[in-house]
């Protein structure tokens, strides 16, 4: 997921993110730590991500998204149910100045 985000950010000043975490029920602690290190290392760049839609696979991912929403001032994080995927995608790409959808 990090490589995909880096590629998009290389071409756009700001991007919305849709994180479909439904298949991440068995996310390892090491993978979670790697993601946290990346985000902390890029904390000041997070203003380039005005919104992140999360489709959690488990309750703990939804709880982590809620905590992250409170801690990251430049990014609004909102959770959606798997059945709301299209709505989540529209929300993540609907911020002012969003790149055109492809």
Q: For the chain, 102 residues long, give each residue's pLDDT as a single digit of tens.
A: 667 777 877 888 888 889 898 887 666 777 777 777 776 666 667 778 889 999 998 888 888 889 888 888 788 999 999 999 999 999 998 877 766 665
Q: What is the pTM of this model?
A: 0.76
Rounded Cα gap, residues 33 and 96, in angstroms: 32
Q: Which domain holds residue 80?
A: 2-92
Please tell me the predicted confidence (pLDDT) of residue 49: 83
The answer as to whether 75 is a domain residue is yes
Distance CA 45, CA 43 (A): 5
Q: Is residue 23 part of a domain?
A: yes
- The verdict on residue 99 lying in a domain is no
Counting the structural domains of the chain, the total is 1
Strand partners, 51: 76
Query: Is residue 79 in some structural domain?
Result: yes
């Amino acid at each position: 997921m990090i490589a995909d985000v880096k590629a998009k950010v290389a071409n756009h000043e700001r991007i919305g993110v849709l994180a479909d975490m439904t298949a991440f029920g068995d996310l390892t602690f090491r993978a979670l730590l790697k993601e946290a290190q990346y985000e902390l290392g890029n904390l000041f760049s997070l203003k380039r991500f005005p919104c992140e839609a999360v489709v959690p696979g488990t309750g703990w991912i939804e709880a982590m998204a809620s905590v992250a929403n409170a801690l990251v001032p430049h990014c609004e994080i909102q959770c959606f149910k798997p059945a709301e995927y299209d709505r989540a995608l529209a929300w993540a790409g609907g911020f002012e100045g969003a790149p055109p959808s492809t």
